[in-house]
């Protein structure tokens, strides 16, 4: 049994440190097993704080020496505490010099200094710097850094750190050095170092004030032909931030480095962004349209952090959403602008809607699920055991929605003036979410006190809508009420301020001009209602006929909207809603209703029949040539199975899978003629280029194949086979293979082998290969656990590695999260396998283990027989010796 009780950190306990660090001089002598780190800290007493010792955090290192003002510190001045040190200092300033030894080759956590494919890399957010040297490793300690790196020239010809290169040269014994200086004070989590055998693509660019800057994308030599898209994305990001926010790159040099072993997506270290290789490398034959789009948005995200995160950073980690929510909002706006620009004036609105749909899908699938489980937390959490567990969909995606609501409530200009004020007050500081919202309030004169509840209350609000048509008066009365369900530690909640964008549609499908009772004139066709009380009523007047309401247009708030609409009404909005987001959403609601009712029929042993009216509604959407391809692909796709599983209570993955299969088959077979015609019409000719218009057409064609194969349409199977064989780009190649594999066809099985022999040496493409086959649906119901068996045997595959996070996410993450019908086997064998993997991973990499552990946190939503099986495995994990705080927090909360 584990003995150490987890330590909980509380937001309210924040206190500034008695000593901070003004400047850091680092010398890092790299060696695989014995890297020597010498650091000299210029420590300054904080005059506003009661006197106390210098607090140095430290983990997993050997302390070699500690000097104060040049003299070896006597042991009486040093107290050891939780692996860290408290050092007694006199006076107001002191120079503390520390030497540590670290072993990067055995650092499997990928936090701190570690090795990947012979090179050295760092990841310091959130608390990795304390694994390199003893330091007051908190974001409110901002220091200027000068860094000297020494390494073997042969093994590591390239030596990079933050800021500007100020010196470099040869040393004895085949070693060399480089010295870097970062002119901007920064918190330690933004420190970075790279020493490896790399090459780069470079561009010079003039910033808006006319300064010349050097941009570089560093990769392993064989990948140089996959860097162009990342570079283009970086340039577009730079230009966008200048134009949209007036924010300029503040350094002479900006570098992106790709690394194969990385826990998360990427990291915004000052001037030296380090990326998971999958968010950098792209070539038409190895990356899909979706990969291209993701790369553009992650490059943008990290670049935008340079202002929202680095120039103004977080006071403490409870404020994480200050930088993450805001930066996700910024990258979403950027991507929407890029898509709109590519689509041209006519297609811009639809292109923006497609992006919005993508973002909302992520939110509703991951974040709503988080809110409904044991890890539910406000975007600004009140407490945590392990901060790495709080890089969540709530902090990021819901955080971005909260910023978006501010943008909606204050208008674009108001929002922009708030941002300007934020930088004018807080540039160079470590601040809080309150500081940010205060700027928004001050710049616009708006009271945002109630709005702050979005920062402190957890959970997804439920907004219930009721409409009454007063035919005689031409008045439509809309009543909205809100309810925020209890979450762990928050049994009762206050009503929040919820912006609800509303339109009313007439029987011909046209938007009605909107006027509230008491208003002198019409105010447009979409109005934003501000729901701030438990229940409120609005009266729309002067209406010629009964309207169909279109609520929460553009998904104006991160809530669940409940509204009684019959099938005809949903079909009507699918065909007519002028708000493209809601048009899509109407179809999703309809599809959800169809799938979930089929799942219920299956549970009762009834025959499954997909309503013809639903198929007709999809047919109309598919045939509507006024809609662009990307939108049609979204609108004709079924809601994700993971999303639907959360909507089902109790969740029964087996009957959901049966229902999904039935709907896929009916949509494929029943609409075969239109799918085949669409497939033909949407062909994209010419060489591959990443362009949203082309991407939309490819997406729609691939969707057609998915349905046709699922529907057993032989012409569809042969089209997929041909596309797979002759595709000149990865989007088409993989799309065809996915259609064949997902339905469990023999062609799919053969295709996987061909794919493997083509791409076996390409790690990122192999990730796709692993992920696809473990997400496949069962074809033959007589087989017992075909996919679980395959996952288990793939663990031993040559191309697989438990120590590479991308491989783990591809194989295990895709299976646990992406294939509920095969993971949640009634005999519980999937869960035993899950527990074994979590325990195994935790010994090497707690962050990755914790992410896998989270895949069962909503176990209480499942049918009772599954709950029993899951509980015993959760308990087995929880009672494992030496469990990390990361996994311990997850399973502890799940079982609480
Ligand atoms: N700040 C990074 C980003 O948003 C994420 C880094 C998180 N890393 C971690 N180990 N918790 O892009
Ligand atoms: Zn971020």
Q: Does 302 qualify as catalytic in the annotation?
A: yes
The predicted structure's pLDDT at residue 66: 98
Catalytic residue among 293, 302, 401, 822: 302
**Residues 84-127: tens digit of each pLDDT:** 999 999 999 999 999 999 999 999 999 999 999 999 999 999 99
Reduce the DSSP state of residue 121 to 3 states and report it: strand
Point out the ligand nearest to the CA of residue 279: 1
Point out the ligand nearest to the CA of residue 328: 2
The answer to whether 516 touches 478, Cβ cutoff 8 Å, is no
Question: Helix H segments across 178-319?
Answer: 228-245, 289-304
- Using the predicted structure, report yes or no on whether residue 171 has a pLDDT greater than 90: yes
Confidence of residue 785 (pLDDT cuts 50, 70, 90): confident
**Residues 366-425: tens digit of each pLDDT:** 999 999 999 999 999 999 999 999 999 999 999 999 999 999 999 999 999 999 999 999
Q: Which atom of ligand 1 is nearest to the CA of 266?
A: 12
The answer to whether 137 touches 188, Cβ cutoff 8 Å, is yes
Across the beta sheet with 475-483, what order do the strands follow? Answer: 535-540, 475-483, 462-470, 560-563
Point out the ligand nearest to the CA of residue 189: 1
The answer to whether 135 touches 158, Cβ cutoff 8 Å, is no
Q: Which atom of ligand 1 is nearest to the CA of 263?
A: 10
ipTM of the complex: 0.98
How distant is the alpha carbon of residue 80 from its chain centre? 37
Ligand 1 lined by 263 (C-beta under 6 Å) = yes
Tell me, in angstroms, the distance from the centre of ligand 2 to residue 426's CA. 19
What the block records as the tokens of 721 is 């086979």
Q: Which atom of ligand 1 is nearest to the CA of 265?
A: 12
Burial track 610-638 (b if 16+ CB lie within 10 A, e otherwise): beeebbebbbebbeeeebbbbbbbbbbbb
**Which residue CA neighbors atom 5 of ligand 1 most closely?**
267
3-class SS letters over 338-390: HHHHHHHHHHHHHHHHHHHHHHHHHHHHHHHHHHCCCCCCCCCCCEECCHHHH
The predicted structure's pLDDT at residue 6: 81
Q: Which atom of ligand 1 is nearest to the CA of 327?
A: 4
Ligand 1 lined by 194 (C-beta under 6 Å) = no
- Using the predicted structure, report yes or no on whether residue 2 has a pLDDT greater than 60: no
Strand 383-384 relative to strand 9-10: parallel, antiparallel, unpaired? antiparallel
**Residues 845-886: tens digit of each pLDDT:** 999 999 999 999 999 999 999 999 999 999 999 999 999 999
Q: Render 755-784 in DSSP notation, one character per residue.
A: HHHHHTT-HHHHHHHHHHHHSPPPS-TTSS
The answer to whether 5 touches 385, Cβ cutoff 8 Å, is no
Query: Distance between CA 326 and CA 436 in Å, rounded?
Result: 10
Ligand 1 lined by 297 (C-beta under 6 Å) = no
Query: Distance between CA 495 and CA 484 in Å, rounded?
Result: 8
Pocket test for ligand 1, best of 139, 391, 885 (most atoms within 8 A of CB): 391
Residue (of 340, 338, 336) closest to 356 by Cα position:
336
The predicted structure's pLDDT at residue 3: 44
Residue (of 729, 368, 714, 392) closest to 557 by Cα position:
368
Tell me, in angstroms, the distance from the centre of ligand 1 to residue 100's CA. 25
Total residues belonging to the chain: 896
Ligand 1 lined by 126 (C-beta under 6 Å) = yes
- Using the predicted structure, report yes or no on whether residue 1 has a pLDDT greater than 60: no
Residue (of 526, 592, 540) closest to 561 by Cα position:
592
Question: Helix H segments across 711-828?
Answer: 714-726, 730-742, 746-759, 763-774, 786-794, 805-808, 814-818, 820-823
Tokens 């975007």 correspond to: 379
Confidence of residue 505 (pLDDT cuts 50, 70, 90): very high
**Residues 651-708: tens digit of each pLDDT:** 999 999 999 999 999 999 999 999 999 999 999 999 999 999 999 999 999 999 999 9
Output the furthest CA–CA distance in the chain (Å, rounded).
94
The predicted structure's pLDDT at residue 780: 81
**Residues 631-651: tens digit of each pLDDT:** 999 999 999 999 999 999 999
Confidence of residue 754 (pLDDT cuts 50, 70, 90): very high
Q: What percent of the chain has pLDDT over 70?
A: 100
The predicted structure's pLDDT at residue 83: 86
**Which residue CA neighbors atom 1 of ligand 1 most closely?**
267
**Residues 411-467: tens digit of each pLDDT:** 999 999 999 999 999 999 999 999 999 999 999 999 999 999 999 999 999 999 999
**Which residue CA neighbors atom 11 of ligand 1 most closely?**
388
Q: Which atom of ligand 1 is nearest to the CA of 111?
A: 10
Reduce the DSSP state of residue 264 to 3 states and report it: coil
Point out the ligand nearest to the CA of residue 265: 1
- Using the predicted structure, report yes or no on whether residue 5 has a pLDDT greater than 80: no
What's the mean pLDDT in 320-343? Answer: 98
| Distance in Å from the first CA to the final CA of the chain | 17
Tell me, in angstroms, the distance from the centre of ligand 2 to residue 257's CA. 16
What are the strands, taking DSSP E only, across 88-211? 93-102, 112-116, 119-123, 142-152, 158-161, 164-170, 175-187, 193-196, 199-206
């Amino acid at each position: 049994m584990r003995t150490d009780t987890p330590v909980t950190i509380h937001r309210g306990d924040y206190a500034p440190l008695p000593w901070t660090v003004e400047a850091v001089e680092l010398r890092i002598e790299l060696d695989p097993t014995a890297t020597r780190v010498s650091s000299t800290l210029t420590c300054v007493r904080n005059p506003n704080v009661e006197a106390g010792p210098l607090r140095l955090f430290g983990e997993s290192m050997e302390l070699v020496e500690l000097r104060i003002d040049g003299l070896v510190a006597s042991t009486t001045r040093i107290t050891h505490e939780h692996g860290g040190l408290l050092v007694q200092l006199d006076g107001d300033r002191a120079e503390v010099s520390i030497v540590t030894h670290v072993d990067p080759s055995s650092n499997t956590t990928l936090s701190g200094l570690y090795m990947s494919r012979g090179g050295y890399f760092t990841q310091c957010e959130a608390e990795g710097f304390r694994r390199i040297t003893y330091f007051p490793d908190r974001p409110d300690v901002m220091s200027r850094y000068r860094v000297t790196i020494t390494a073997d020239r042969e093994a590591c010809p390239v030596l990079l750190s933050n800021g500007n290169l100020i010196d470099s040269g040869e040393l004895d014994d085949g070693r060399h050095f480089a010295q870097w200086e970062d002119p901007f004070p920064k918190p330690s989590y933004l420190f970075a170092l790279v020493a490896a055998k790399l090459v780069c693509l470079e561009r010079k660019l003039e910033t808006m004030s006319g300064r010349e800057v050097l941009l570089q994308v560093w990769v392993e030599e064989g990948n140089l032909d996959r860097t162009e898209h990342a570079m283009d994305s970086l340039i577009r990001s730079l230009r966008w931030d200048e134009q949209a926010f007036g924010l300029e790159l503040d350094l002479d040099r900006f570098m992106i480095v790709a690394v194969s072993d990385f826990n998360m997506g990427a990291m915004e270290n000052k001037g030296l962004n380090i990326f998971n290789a999958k968010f950098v490398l792209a070539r038409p034959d190895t990356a899909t349209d979706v990969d291209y789009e993701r790369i553009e948005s992650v490059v943008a995200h990290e670049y935008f952090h340079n202002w929202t995160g680095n120039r103004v950073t977080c006071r403490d980690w409870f404020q994480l959403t200050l930088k993450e929510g805001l930066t996700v909002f910024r990258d979403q706006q950027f991507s929407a602008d890029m898509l709109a620009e590519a689509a041209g004036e006519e297609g811009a609105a639809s292109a923006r809607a497609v992006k919005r749909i993508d973002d909302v899908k992520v939110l509703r699938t991951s974040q709503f699920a988080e809110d409904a489980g044991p890890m539910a937390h406000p975007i600004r959490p009140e407490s945590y055991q392990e901060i790495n567990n709080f890089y969540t969909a709530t902090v990021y995606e819901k955080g971005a929605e909260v910023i978006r609501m501010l943008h909606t409530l204050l208008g674009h200009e108001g929002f922009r003036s708030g941002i300007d004020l934020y930088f004018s007050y807080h540039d160079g500081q470590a601040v809080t979410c309150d500081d940010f919202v205060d700027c928004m309030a001050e710049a616009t004169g708006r009271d945002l006190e109630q709005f702050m509840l979005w920062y402190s209350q957890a959970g997804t609000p439920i907004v219930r809508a009721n409409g009454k048509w007063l035919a005689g008066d031409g008045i439509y009365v809309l009543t909205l009420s809100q309810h925020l369900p209890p979450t762990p530690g928050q049994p009762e909640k206050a009503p929040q301020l919820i912006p609800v964008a509303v339109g009313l549609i007439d029987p011909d499908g046209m938007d009605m001009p909107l006027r509230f009772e008491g208003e002198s004139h019409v105010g447009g066709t979409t109005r934003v209602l501000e729901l701030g009380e438990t229940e409120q009523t609005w009266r729309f007047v002067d209406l010629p006929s009964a309207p169909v309401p279109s609520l929460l247009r553009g998904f104006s708030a991160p809530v669940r909207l409940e509204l009684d609409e019959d099938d005809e009404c949903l079909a009507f909005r699918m065909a007519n809603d002028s708000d493209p987001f809601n048009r899509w959403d109407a179809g999703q609601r309809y599809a959800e209703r169809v799938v979930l009712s089929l799942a219920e029929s299956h549970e009762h042993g009834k025959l499954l029949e997909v309503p013809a009216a639903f198929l007709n509604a999809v047919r109309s959407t598919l045939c509507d040539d006024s809609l662009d391809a990307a939108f049609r692909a979204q609108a004709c796709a079924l809601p994700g199975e993971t999303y639907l599983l959360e909507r089902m209570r109790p969740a029964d993955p087996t009957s959901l899978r049966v229902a999904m299969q039935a709907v896929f088959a009916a949509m494929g077979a029943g609409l075969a003629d239109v799918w085949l015609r669409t497939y033909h019409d949407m062909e994209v000719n010419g060489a591959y280029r990443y362009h949203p218009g082309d991407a939309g057409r490819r997406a729609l064609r691939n969707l057609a194949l998915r349905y046709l194969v699922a529907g057993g349409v032989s012409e569809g199977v042969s089209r997929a086979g041909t596309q797979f064989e002759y595709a000149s780009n990865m989007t088409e190649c993989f799309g065809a293979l996915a259609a064949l594999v997902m339905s469990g066809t023999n062609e799919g099985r053969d295709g996987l082998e061909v794919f493997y022999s083509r791409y076996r040496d390409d790690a990122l493409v192999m990730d796709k290969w692993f992920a696809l086959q473990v997400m496949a649906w069962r074809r033959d119901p007589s087989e017992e656990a075909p996919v679980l068996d395959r996952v288990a045997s793939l663990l031993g595959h040559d191309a697989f590695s438990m120590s590479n996070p991308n491989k783990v996410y591809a194989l295990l993450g895709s299976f646990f999260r992406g294939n509920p019908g095969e993971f949640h086997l009634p005999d519980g064998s999937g869960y035993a396998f899950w527990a074994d993997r979590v325990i195994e991973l935790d010994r090497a990499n707690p962050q990755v283990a914790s992410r896998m552990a989270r895949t069962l946190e909503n176990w209480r939503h499942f049918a009772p027989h599954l709950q029993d099986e899951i509980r015993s495995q959760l308990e087995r994990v929880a009672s494992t010796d030496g469990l990390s705080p990361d996994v311990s927090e997850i399973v502890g909360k799940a079982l609480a």
